[in-house]
Structure 1
Amino acid sequence: MTDSAIIRDFIYNYFQIAKSKEIENLPEFFHDNFTKFGDSPPYDRRELDRAMMLEQLQFASISDYDFKIEEMKIDVLDNVAIATFTLDSTGLIVDDYSFRGTAIKNKARVTIVLQKDRKGGWKMLHQHFSKMPC
């Protein structure tokens, strides 16, 4: 299997966690130096610990999640790779305190920078999401 195919599967598996609710597996996707610019509040740059906490909260709070990745392009440069694509996602954000749900429908341009680890696997170094009109 090529590095591009491995990275494609890695990215799909990452977003699949929001469907499977196996959020205990999130840490295996992130490099120790991970950062993120998200397309939802807070709009700050998030370092690993804060990003992980917000990802776990978001993935745990969404139900009926579905996603579609289009126009994926992966450039592998030795032990670093850049994946770009558009992400359409839908679901229901559930507020456990009020027992209400808010439907979401998002479209974003996504850039993910990855680094190959010593074992030959890939980890995310950075994510950048930019909202697009749906």
Structure 2
Amino acid sequence: MKMTLALSIVLSAFMFLFGCKENQEKNVHEEPKTDLIKDNFPDKQKEVKAVLDSLFVSIQNREIEELLSYHLYSDKFTEFTDGLPRTGSIENKKNERQLIENIAAFDYDLGALKIDVFDDVAIVTFNADFRPKIGDNVVQLWRQGTIVFVKYNNVWRITHEHFSPINVKENEN
């Protein structure tokens, strides 16, 4: 009987100590939970905004290689423009080169800018007032834009672009 009681006490103590150590190890290795929907990721929003600003500066400066460097070209890259069928990396590069070749200047405003970050993916939406100068003429293009960024190798790059015409009344400017 004494042997059974002693064995029970030793086993209970062992289970108690082992259980505490296991809980302690779990607490040490647990990272704070991230809520992809509710968390805003403000530091990452700032990073994406900086890339977006740099992208438009590269257009204004007519720096094609800089502009292309903001894209993550692969089989996963997609683009929709003005109701036309979906295109990919090859077509986007061609379109970006044509833009830079055809403009003499570029001005823009991004209204209703929204940057939603889901950890390493960001969706940027806006109502754009693009004003490229082609020859001697400034063309005003109103577009709804969606750009999807992915953080790849610690750098934010575009993996999807979508631009559609937006109806804007003259008195709303």
Question: Do they fold alike, i.e. is TM over 0.5?
Answer: yes
Q: Which has the higher helix share?
A: 2
Structure 1 distance, partners of 2:96, 2:81, is 10
**Deviation by residue 1:6-58 (Cα, 9 ceiling, x = unmatched):** 11121121122221011121221111232111138xx2312101111111111
Report sequence identity in percent.
Answer: 27
Q: Which has the higher strand share?
A: 1
User: Which gives a bigger RCO, structure 1 or 2 (Cα 8 Å, sep 6+)?
Assistant: 1
Whether the 8 Å contact between 2:68 and 2:96 is mirrored in structure 1 is: no
Give structure 2 stretches of 5+ with no counterpart: 1-41, 169-173
Q: Which residue of 1 aligns with 2:77?
A: 34
Q: Which runs of 4+ in 1 moved over 6 A?
A: none
Q: Which residue of 2 aligns with 1:112?
A: 147
- Where in structure 2 are the equivalents of 1:1-134 lying within 5 Å? 2-32=43-73, 33-39=76-82, 43-94=84-135, 101-118=136-153, 120-134=154-168
Structure 1 distance, partners of 2:49, 2:91, is 25
Structure 1 distance, partners of 2:134, 2:81, is 17
Q: Normalised by the size of structure 2, how large is the TM-score?
A: 0.66
Root mean square deviation of aligned Cα:
1.8
Give structure 1 stretches of 5+ with no counterpart: 95-100
Whether the 8 Å contact between 1:18 and 1:60 is mirrored in structure 2 is: no
| SS in structure 2 at match of 1:110 | strand
Q: Normalised by the size of structure 1, how large is the TM-score?
A: 0.84
Task: Report the AA paired with residue 150 of structure 2.
Answer: Q
Whether the 8 Å contact between 2:59 and 2:67 is mirrored in structure 1 is: no
